[in-house]
Structure 1
Amino acid sequence: MSNIPDVDGVQDGGKPLAGFKVLDVSNFLAAPMCSMFLADFGADVLKVERPQHGDEVRHWGENRDGVGLYYKVLNRGKRSITLDLRTPFGAETVKRLVQDVDVIVENYRTGTLEKWGLGYDVLAAINPRLIMTRVTGWGQTGPHRMRPGFGTLAEAYAGFVAINGEPDRPPLLPGFGLADSTTGLMAAFLTVTALHEARRSGRGQVIDLAIYETLLTLLGPQVVNYDQLGLVQQRSGSRLPFTAPRNTYRTRDGQYVSIAGSAQSTFVRICDALGVPDLVADPRFATNRARLVNAAVLDEHLQAAIERFDRDDLLARFVEIGATAAPVNTVADIVADAHIGARENIVTLDDPELGGPLRMQNVVGKLSRTPGAIAAPGPRLGEHNRAVLIDQLGYTEDELAAAGIDLPEPGRAAAE
């Protein structure tokens, strides 16, 4: 049974993944996000980090008083121990831990765990029910399998970057870890799928997921359109190749709204809300396929109509008529938004390391009977060394000291 504490009255035993144990030996973004999703729904996730340094994400991006903020999100609800997997002590400890876990999550370059004596064949001999979720840049097979890889490369390789941006400008990378994040979500899904199968068969297996693969599928009909019609999708700004209108538009007060008319009835209501019903009767815009051919001209007409309104007044008109539009929110807008507040999409947690409350995105999705919940923000480095390595596995303090493992006291981070 999971050792994660109860949160807001939701008992671990009521969470759908309660009782499953996950050993997370990964770093950075994609694989830790996988185990984050598992922890959100009750899995007991034990994170293994490098002594002294920890997960690289502790040193990414913004920090407060030296504490990496994104780490707090990606590793929420997990416990942290420190081990150097390159050493005999680290490898032996992993072997002890996998005796009693359901899943191990890793994202080292292909062949690295095997080099350290921790390949799946070795670990499965210890625990035949073990599932190994392997997230790598290029996968375990194929001519690129030994190359280093990460999300930015995957976004270009999968075809996303080629279609992102304006047609007369260079292709654009996304402004967040798109490939890593989508990979983390898919890895969590595949892990739960394998856990379900293991209940039937009693056997574990390897999940082999390359970072570019999920994004390749999510990009839409590119492959089938190329196969059947020879089409290569080009950059078109905010437009889509299969529906129009679809873009962002500036309002009179300098704000922006997003508008999409994926169905004919939706387009009619948009024109009604904007006071331009004549556009519906215009042969250039009478059907979705006609609008796709004339998307640039349509955008000009819509922009001229939209800039007659301030954003809030425009959105109120759209709501009244039932037309489709949304504000282009910044994170400040999101945190203050009444609907996001009502849906509890942002949660406030106490963080002892930061000495106060911390807000972050909440668990995605709402299960009516067994909802997920975030136990706590990401832990201090090595916070659970004593509980796991000494109390659970039986090592002595002298053995840990010889292996370079710190034993942080409560309320104190591991040595930097």
Structure 2
Amino acid sequence: MIKHGFDPAQLALGGLRVLEVGSGPALAYAGKLFADFGAEVIKVESPAGDAWRQMPPMVSAPGAAQPESALFAWLNTNKRSVTAADGKAEDGAWLAQLARTCDVVLDARALTEGPGILGAPVWQGTAEDPQEHEPIEVALTWFGETGPYSHHAGAEAVCRGLAGAVHGSGPADGPPHMPHDVQTAIVVGLSAFSAAVAAVIGSGQGSRRYVLSAHEAIFSVVEMEAGMVQDNRHPLRRLGVNRFCGTHPAGIYWTAEGWIGIFTHTLPQWTGLCEAIGRPDLASDPRYANGQERMNRADEIDDLLVPAFLTRTAEQWFEILGDKKHPAVIVPTMETLLGQAVHRQRGAFVPVGVGGASFEGPVVPLPLDAAGPLPGGAAPAKGAHDLHYRTSGLDHRPRLQLARTASERLPLQGIRVVDLTMGWAGPLAARTLADFGAEIIKVESTGYPDWWRGANFTEAFYRDRLYEKNSNFNLMNRNKLGITLDLTRPEGKQLLLQLVEGADAVIENYSAEVLPKLGLDYEALRARNDRLVMLSMPAFGLGNAWSNTRAYGGTLEQASGLPLYTGHPEGPPAMTSYAYGDPIGGLNGGAAILLALFAQQATGQGRHINLSQVEAMLPMAAPFILEQSICGAVSPRQGNRHPMYAPHGCFRCTGEDAWIVLAVTDADWPALGRAIGRADLAADPRLAQAAGRRVEEERIDEAIKVWCAGRDPEAAMHLLQQAGVAAGVVRPMSQVPEDIHLRARGFWREVERAHIGTYTASTPWFRTGPQPTPVRNVAPTLGEHTEAVLSRVLGLGVDQIADLERQGITGTVAKPKRAKETP
């Protein structure tokens, strides 16, 4: 057993008991987050064992009878394992009794049995059973409990395709790229964990039941693109590998040694890049004046960059471009990644054990110091804790004594957060808390508004208030209050400090040097409020050699090494078409601040969370990190193929760039063969198991292609789903806002906002009842709530507030300025 050296009493979730029922990587990751922060997590497996015990990469311990799944082990560190047979009344009664000793039940049974199973909670038991304690229930579904897709067969890849998170990535002529299932599972698992922790924080007032749709949770990864569609800024087509709709160059280039990743957005960044490659004349060339113009000339720009980057190593380019404040990173192999000092210093890789074997995997990237996470751990053997939990383990008294409640309050009502964030990652972290009911006070300035309001500071930007009309900003800042303060002036700084005195938390995502220069770092804020929780989230975290690295979401993806293991085998290293690192950083930031608030609630102590957004990406690369640690190398890219399912991929249908995605298990295979008119394939005993089908995968894929080629993708999905096969349309983002399922569920709703009129807003990815969680407030206009907040929260009078606006400390109209880089 791995020794941790942590004081269990200080772990953030120590004392909580959590039951994990069902299977799949999303459920396992949600449970891992609980276990690695000290909760007693009881994983329920079938007598045959969880199917993911067979998921590669596999590892063998000396003398072991058979290899074990390293990926399963990493997903299940520090848990207990019990077994229970489905349909066996005795096991069902015991499981209900065990569930009533738990504070939280994480339930993924609906993923395999359909949402109807949730009508009978695992803890309910019989009518004669005592019901004085009702655990918090977080249930995972593929598509929710209602709507046209609710009873569809699901899979990570199918949900991703329907959510718009597949179509935009890959070669222009297809097929689109499909990332590893674990990447989708991390998103859903983080979402489930956040719902559970929010419910625990608000256990005296909030709902006991939260139901998540994986489909809707995955949409959060590509939400930026939905905003671009509304604003007519989306190209509405796939542009090609490493081509982004907003700007160029933003890709990956081979150097004299290793790969360099760059993301060139602003004019100063383009200027710096031109100077670095020895072509300063291009910086002032009007043909390259903005991102869209450069995208129109992407091939000719690449013709310049490809030979230029070959003149130096990736490490040298990283230093040169970093000195020019250009977002650039080394794109590491897994071998390079595991050796990078900046990650080693932060403890980003930890030992994982299973069956006597030990190897390295990524740490849970939510650093709370003494409160966790545990630096590694071991996975339990199947059923290792059966005896305990069938005897004395049933005597446990839950930490949370929860009676049934009909409360309509959200769990975080009464918590106040000061939001100093811009763009996507930070605002998403804050929005997570806002959706659960926290009061979020978003602070901007009239001279420097959130750059997601727009960064092209033309005369029209100010004259026509374009900064109030950006759908990305409006999507990301729902349920918040908005105020303006000029933090570069003493009066603005003093007002912020007064706000902090009455706040529970502060979230910021400025560049690492900004708040210290303003005298507003954590120590300054903590001097006003020693119980304050603060989240900072630079690309590589604070306090290391790379802390000042400029980064966008694409930069974070590059720095994780994921692109080297994504895409078709014959193609180059491939990024996704969206700013992947931003939503992943935001989801991790939200989970981290929730954990810290729970610890604050228990101890009264504050803390500064030093989150690295690159580190937050590393769990997405877990299969490749684990394989590198075990084998000393990573297998070649497999494109859209899957380590367990076959067939698996994107298949072209009739229509322009129209595709469906399939994910077929052994159980589904006969139905697929019959559905596509190939009973001969379905009956072939050599194809009954995935290993046999993988040998014949090209022949099988060809049969599917022939069947799909004459069918509309909607019809193909419908026919396959009728047969029970997990299939879905690969939706372009332009279709996602009109998706019949999302519309029927009310996920999309039309709202009104000043300066823009009606626009389409998304709703939160969790539900406590049949209706969507409401959007209480649309995104604030600039400084909309300044007067109300300064009056109600700080007690300022009318004359004082008016004087602040006269001095320009506050305001509701953006002030013109020169274009400059985003902090």
SS of aligned partner of 1:374: coil
**8 Å contact kept, 1:139–1:209:** yes
Tell me which residue corresponds to 1:79. Answer: 481
User: Which residue of 223, 227, 230 maps to 2:632?
Assistant: 230
Q: Give distance in 2, aligned partners of 1:12 and 1:93.
A: 35
Q: Larger deviation: 158-167 or 127-136?
A: 158-167
Deviation at 1:74, TM superposition (A): 0.9
**Quick check: 1:138 aligned with 2:540?**
yes
Residues 207 and 132 of structure 1: CA distance in aligned 2, closer, same or farther (over 3 Å): same
User: Which residue of 574, 584, 591 maps to 1:182?
Assistant: 584
SS of aligned partner of 1:221: helix
Q: Larger deviation: 16-25 or 121-130?
A: 121-130
Q: Give distance in 2, aligned partners of 1:107 and 1:313.
A: 45
In the TM superposition, what whole-angstrom CA distance separates every residue of 1:219-243 from its partner, at most 9, and x where no partner exists? Answer: 3411112211234244443333443
User: Which residue of 757, 764, 776 maps to 1:375?
Assistant: 776
**8 Å contact kept, 2:425–2:585:** yes
Q: Give distance in 2, aligned partners of 1:342 and 1:241.
A: 35
**Quick check: 1:208 aligned with 2:610?**
yes
State the AA in 2 paired with 1:29. Answer: W
Tell me which residue corresponds to 1:362. Answer: 763
**8 Å contact kept, 2:651–2:661:** yes
Tell me which residue corresponds to 1:6. Answer: none
User: Which residue of 44, 48, 59 maps to 2:439?
Assistant: 44
**Quick check: 1:257 aligned with 2:660?**
yes
In the TM superposition, what whole-angstrom CA distance separates every residue of 1:379-398 from its partner, at most 9, and x where no partner exists? Answer: 11111222233564327246
Residues 145 and 335 of structure 1: CA distance in aligned 2, closer, same or farther (over 3 Å): closer
State the AA in 1 paired with 2:649. Answer: N
Residues 234 and 155 of structure 1: CA distance in aligned 2, closer, same or farther (over 3 Å): farther
SS of aligned partner of 1:14: coil
In the TM superposition, what whole-angstrom CA distance separates every residue of 1:103-160 from its partner, at most 9, and x where no partner exists? Answer: 1000122243223221212212211221101111111144312322231111011122
Q: Give distance in 2, aligned partners of 1:167 and 1:153.
A: 22
User: Which residue of 485, 496, 514 maps to 1:94?
Assistant: 496
State the AA in 1 paired with 2:496. Answer: V
Q: Give distance in 1, aligned partners of 2:679 and 2:544.
A: 55
SS of aligned partner of 1:126: coil
Q: Give distance in 2, aligned partners of 1:13 and 1:315.
A: 38
Q: Give distance in 2, aligned partners of 1:142 and 1:242.
A: 40
Q: Give distance in 1, aligned partners of 2:481 and 2:801.
A: 19
5 Å matches for 1:312-351? 312-351=714-753
Deviation at 1:282, TM superposition (A): 5.2
Tell me which residue corresponds to 2:424. Answer: 29
Residues 295 and 130 of structure 1: CA distance in aligned 2, closer, same or farther (over 3 Å): farther
Q: Give distance in 2, aligned partners of 1:338 and 1:153.
A: 34
User: Which residue of 351, 361, 386 maps to 2:787?
Assistant: 386
Tell me which residue corresponds to 2:528. Answer: 126
**8 Å contact kept, 1:101–1:130:** yes
In the TM superposition, what whole-angstrom CA distance separates every residue of 1:286-339 from its partner, at most 9, and x where no partner exists? Answer: 422344455444323321232243334322321221111111223443333332
SS of aligned partner of 2:483: strand
Tell me which residue corresponds to 1:161. Answer: 563
State the AA in 1 paired with 2:808. Answer: G
State the AA in 2 paired with 1:83. Answer: L
**8 Å contact kept, 1:28–1:55:** yes
- Aligned CA RMSD, in angstroms, stands at 2.8
Unmatched segments (≥5 aa) in structure 1: 1-10
**8 Å contact kept, 2:444–2:782:** yes
SS of aligned partner of 1:207: strand
Residues 142 and 285 of structure 1: CA distance in aligned 2, closer, same or farther (over 3 Å): farther
Deviation at 1:208, TM superposition (A): 1.8
**8 Å contact kept, 1:98–1:123:** yes
State the AA in 2 paired with 1:362. Answer: T
Q: Give distance in 1, aligned partners of 2:452 and 2:753.
A: 17
Q: Larger deviation: 325-334 or 288-297?
A: 288-297
State the AA in 1 paired with 2:809. Answer: I
Tell me which residue corresponds to 1:405. Answer: 809
Q: Give distance in 1, aligned partners of 2:571 and 2:610.
A: 36
Q: Give distance in 2, aligned partners of 1:360 and 1:371.
A: 12
Deviation at 1:60, TM superposition (A): 5.5
SS of aligned partner of 2:735: helix
State the AA in 2 paired with 1:184. Answer: G
**8 Å contact kept, 2:660–2:716:** no
SS of aligned partner of 2:499: helix
SS of aligned partner of 1:39: helix
Deviation at 1:50, TM superposition (A): 2.4
In the TM superposition, what whole-angstrom CA distance separates every residue of 1:169-193 from its partner, at most 9, and x where no partner exists? Answer: 2223222221100111111111111
State the AA in 2 paired with 1:400. Answer: L
Unmatched segments (≥5 aa) in structure 2: 1-405, 817-823
**8 Å contact kept, 1:244–1:292:** yes
Q: Give distance in 2, aligned partners of 1:140 and 1:20.
A: 26
Deviation at 1:207, TM superposition (A): 1.6
**8 Å contact kept, 1:406–1:414:** no
**8 Å contact kept, 2:426–2:508:** yes
Residues 48 and 234 of structure 1: CA distance in aligned 2, closer, same or farther (over 3 Å): farther
Q: Give distance in 2, aligned partners of 1:125 and 1:102.
A: 14
Deviation at 1:65, TM superposition (A): 6.8
Q: Larger deviation: 234-243 or 189-198?
A: 234-243
Percent pairwise identity? 28
Residues 127 and 392 of structure 1: CA distance in aligned 2, closer, same or farther (over 3 Å): same
State the AA in 1 paired with 2:416. Answer: K
**8 Å contact kept, 1:106–1:134:** yes
Q: Give distance in 2, aligned partners of 1:93 and 1:370.
A: 39
Q: Give distance in 2, aligned partners of 1:220 and 1:347.
A: 36
Residues 392 and 194 of structure 1: CA distance in aligned 2, closer, same or farther (over 3 Å): closer
SS of aligned partner of 1:227: helix
SS of aligned partner of 1:48: strand
Q: Give distance in 1, aligned partners of 2:764 and 2:770.
A: 15
**8 Å contact kept, 1:60–1:68:** no
Residues 331 and 146 of structure 1: CA distance in aligned 2, closer, same or farther (over 3 Å): closer
Q: Give distance in 1, aligned partners of 2:489 and 2:695.
A: 62
State the AA in 1 paired with 2:783. Answer: G
SS of aligned partner of 1:302: helix
Q: Larger deviation: 313-322 or 181-190?
A: 313-322
Q: Give distance in 1, aligned partners of 2:753 and 2:708.
A: 44
**8 Å contact kept, 1:164–1:237:** yes
Q: Give distance in 2, aligned partners of 1:278 and 1:65.
A: 64
Q: Give distance in 1, aligned partners of 2:545 and 2:693.
A: 43
State the AA in 2 paired with 1:54. Answer: P
**8 Å contact kept, 2:671–2:682:** no
**8 Å contact kept, 2:505–2:533:** yes
SS of aligned partner of 1:133: strand
SS of aligned partner of 2:766: coil
Question: Structure 1 length normalisation: TM-score?
Answer: 0.87
Q: How many residues align?
A: 399
**8 Å contact kept, 2:745–2:772:** no
**8 Å contact kept, 2:434–2:479:** yes
Residues 378 and 333 of structure 1: CA distance in aligned 2, closer, same or farther (over 3 Å): same
Question: Structure 2 length normalisation: TM-score?
Answer: 0.46
